[in-house]
Amino acid sequence: MKKVIFAATLLFLSIINTSCDNNDDNDKTSENQYPITVKFSHVEESFSFFKNGEETDVPDDVLAAYYENTGIGFNKAEIEEENKDDYFQFLSDTEVIVAQYGEIYTVDYVFEDGFLYINYIDEDDGETTKLLLGKGDLNKLEYLYSSIVLKEENSRSGSASAYEDAGDIPYFPTTFENSINFHNYENITDLQGDETYLLIHNVADVYIKE
């Protein structure tokens, strides 16, 4: 937080601290680095498409169906427009302002093994939840999520979710192997037939230090 200091006080401090400036520089490094703002920059995405026993490029008609018909499709351009004003502002070693999806709140945070967690307090019941909110550090963060679509001969199913706790980390990026619980196939070779395929969309909202 910025402090208002009278000019006379500044003059006084400059006189008595002249001889100490060099010694104090190292001590002030940590406390003077805040606030640090990590602002939304862009979306990075990747697709995996499995059909006829192998992984191949995603056909245009499958992508069109994903965006238009499944109800879970993540559209990069729309996300970037919606999130353009989002940011994380780190106020100290323990406190951060989070601005995402139209909400702004101040919470405690911690970095563990290269991932950002916040302690979110539910306003309704007062319960505290430790949420996974990013991968990275104070220079670059990635908010991770994915969706999966399974198309069979007479049906289609899908799911979409963000990575919300430490137990989700091994599942990003989502692959065939770590999505087998979503369907009945145990091997890629089981995905056979004109009307059968698995589409995986991995997404990261990228935040960069200003």
Res. 132 pLDDT band, cuts 50 70 90: very high
| Amino acid 10: pLDDT | 28
pLDDT digits (tens, 9 = 90+) for 61-97: 999 999 987 789 999 999 999 999 999 999 999 999 9
Nearest in space to 149 (alpha carbons), one of 12, 82, 51: 51
Give the range among 35-44, 70-79, 129-138 with minimum mean pLDDT: 70-79
Predicted structure pTM score? 0.81
* CA 137 – CA 146 distance, rounded (Å): 21
* CA 63 – CA 87 distance, rounded (Å): 30
| Tokens encoding 51 | 């059909």
| Range 45-60 average pLDDT | 95
| Amino acid 120: pLDDT | 81
pLDDT digits (tens, 9 = 90+) for 151-168: 987 788 899 999 999 999
| Amino acid 16: pLDDT | 31
* CA 111 – CA 139 distance, rounded (Å): 13
Res. 31 pLDDT band, cuts 50 70 90: low
* CA 158 – CA 174 distance, rounded (Å): 13
Res. 9 pLDDT band, cuts 50 70 90: very low
Q: DSSP assignment, residue 17?
A: H
